[in-house]
Structure 1
Amino acid sequence: MPSWNGTDLGAALRAAADLVLNAQAAGGEASSGADPGTQPRTQIVLISDLQSGARLDGLQGSTWPTSLPVDVRRVTLADRTNAWITLPRGSGAITESVFDTESTSSGSSSPDSADKQASDVEGAFRVRVMNSGNSERAQFRLAWLKADGQPAAVPPRSVQIPPGQSLAVRLPLPPDDAVAIELSGDDHDFDNVRYFTNRPPRSQTVWFLGPDATEPRDSLLHYLRQLSLDTAARVITFAHHAPDAGPPTGLAGPLVAADPRSIPLIFATGSIDQPTTEALLAYVRGGGRLVYVIPAADEPGGVQPTLRGLLASDLVTVTESQVSDYAMWARIEFAHPLFAPLSGPEFNDFSRIRFWAHRNLSSLPEDCQTLVAFDDGSPAIVERLVGQGRIWMFASGWQPQESQLALSTKFIPLMFGLLDAGRLDAAAPERLIVGEAFPGIMAADPSAIEIERITRPAAPIGRLSAVECSDSPGVYRLRSEGNEEQVAVNLRESESRIEPMATDELQRLGVVLGTLETGQSTEQRERQLRDLELESKQTLWRWLLVGVLALLGLETLISGWVARRGLITSVG
């Protein structure tokens, strides 16, 4: 059935081929005793516009059966002009700058670089408008839409994009009632609307518990405060609680009641008393995140009781490592959400980060996972899942006194990972693609989360437990026990690339192309073969007849010649 899902041509062809091969293997087309020459040929008929945005990944990594050709019948579009809007990847499209535009070629500029160009602004909403290479027009308009589909009270903006080009556009901030931006002026309107969530950023606080050195070179907190962890969905501020300031009750009330939605992350170091340790564990069980940086093992007060309390094990021991020169991270679990963004070959080299000091952890409980290990094999970062939250143990600090981590390019994405990677309590992502599953809210029971569509046609969708995924573009509201989130669902951007791909693209991926032979054409071909055979037989009889006539003529000539010779002899 037609749907808003992305076109996966490769998976469709592979599924069709598997159906045919399975039917043939099960004897669905002919019995095992049948003459192979009499079995009908099987082919796949592909009727498609072969848009260049169709995915072909399903054809890679496998061999196409040579006995199963594909008959491609291309559908040609009469109207070729198509332009579309893309929103920057990330959490939002709202930036802080003045209005400006910049044009780039879609063939020579990556979306990421254009997004960066468009983000160097203040008080603006950034989008990218692209025009297909075979378009016949270049003039388009952009307008804001409200949830009911009506234009917002803001004049539309005209933009000009030559065919095959793209334009990074910085628009004034949308009206409060706008939920989408619409493009007009092209031939195809199926992809002209892009939805977004027009919500203010959430204010959140990251706490640091423990002593803080006055010298920046020795301070963990100093380098945290140099970071900007803000996004369009949140504004992060740092707060510090020193151990000599009494019980930590400034965390929006008692620490035990800290809400992970307003306090998404807590850093801690040094010796922590038992009541505070229990309060931290309660915070983590509710979905919070705790990063405990193990200080030098010979510090006054000791840290072993704190470690044993946080790891719920009396067997854990910590000692100071004897580093002769420097240590390095030797083994990293890049499959873990914390390091997955750094798993690419251009990011995964940590060999230049040196550690001057670190602690050795031993007898860790079984529920702890070592995410990073030093080159001597000792754990560098340990993770423990507690309830709905996580505890991370760092065996070394990031301040220059102990390592080069804070001065490296890996520090910022690592801190973002601690705040965001794999969160169970995170707000719903601002944008989804049609077919992606709706997220939960604060790890609530899916049966308690209600989903409704607030854009036209507005309607309740049902409970999250009964709705597998989003099936159409729009803005949806998720509600549960007083919590509410909005999420925008958009068409996959590759669907907008309707210019045709070359047929040999399928051949390049190994697909065998051929023409489907119908029953009528088979009968006609067999009739032609019979006619040819009959004609060849008639030709043979024709030559035999000629031969007989030639023999008769020769016999007549010989008989006449003999008769004349006899007459001459009798006369003489």
Structure 2
Amino acid sequence: MGALALAIPIILHLLHDRPKNKQEFGSLMFLDKTKPPVDRKRRPSHLLLLLLRCLALLLLAFVFARPFVTVDDPADAAQRDRQWITVLLDRSASMQRGDLWEQAKAKVQATLDQLGPGDRFSLIAFDDSTEPLAEVKSWLGSRSEAEVNVPLERLAKPGFGGSNLGQALVLAGESIEGDEPVADELGADEQPLARREIIVISDLQKGSRLGDVQGYEWPTGIKVTLEQIGEDDQGNAGIEQVASRVPWATAEAAPSFRISNSANGIGDELEFLAHTATGETLSQTVHVPPGRSRVVELPGEWARKSVDRLAIRGDVAEFDNQFHFAQNRQQTVHIVYIGQDKPNDAEGSLFYLASAFQQSTTLDFQVEAVSGKSSGPLPEADLYVIGDTVDDPLAQALGQAIEDGATALMVVQSPGQAANLGQWLGVDGVVIRDIASRDYALLESLKLDHPVLAVFRDARFSDFTNLHFWKHREL
């Protein structure tokens, strides 16, 4: 722009070239009016003066431009500002769409190309959880790049988890803030970190959770850059099971599923499919407007079949269109009680045993009573409950079953059961004594990590201080 000002002195120089002599004349009434001739060959005079004026304007433009010349100094290049780049790579289920995962990995490679000697780099993958993949404290070019690419290639594809971006950001921020060296810890040739940046590579779906960031005081000087990949212009539909208090195995109940259609969905008609274990495919049309969801109950005829996979069809992204599950089936648990109790005797153990094991939607308990004096074969069972003395040959058969891994629960009701206990444990001198005291006794310790007592681990049920025993048996 300053050079364009050179036209000003040239124009002024030409306009200033006017006739210098004036001649007085009496009257012009006898002269005809004519236009002054145009001199196309007018040439500027005083060329030296014109040149000086142009040089003065050029010098003025040069001064206002404030030019400077830099000279690269090898010593200064070695002392370049260091940076710490942390990449948060989204590996949630939505990254399975199209070629988003390949685009994300290409973004990581582009970030690696920006690193210089001495820079620090961290790679963290996140979905519902956060996993550090690589950490390079001083970048060494291709050697460090290969170190990062090994765990990156091992992460072949995204999983099926959600996206908790807030948790990943907090983890990265705390890691940078807590691990950054202070000035006293730097080496003689090591420069402080002049730039700290977190780069988020994600498709930035709306379902990503950011709650952890809201209550977190963000560290000063850490910049966050969002690298969004992919354009969700064709919408997506998904399926998930609705939580229910009624198990599927009950005769009248059937599971329900929520089918959601994104706001930019391509249509409102979806196909709800059920694939059975025999290869049969059942189908039903479901209308879900874009931006809405609908709860669909599994049809009764489907629930009665061995369905092992549900699906929806009708959207572009198919990564979340499948729902795999195993139907709950009732399991039969056979319990054998060995004793002399009558089923209707409210004072006996058999009565309470039958009451304790109630049939449920997933477990069918079958309680069978066998006399301890029986000479017949020992029935097969998942659990043996021994409430009285057992005579041979039943005692020998029960001992062999216990040795083979059967589960037995012995309810000690008389000192006479000591002989059976010693026989099954393979020890001599087992004695059971009845203890009676004037004051009550308490339970001293319980192994709540044992499977039998695991149900009492909850703090609501683990307080046994109100249980007082005036009579007990000592083993």
TM-score, normalising length from structure 1?
Answer: 0.43
Structure number with bigger Rg: 2
**Higher RCO, 1 vs 2 (CA within 8 Å, ≥6 residues apart):** 1
TM-score, normalising length from structure 2?
Answer: 0.50
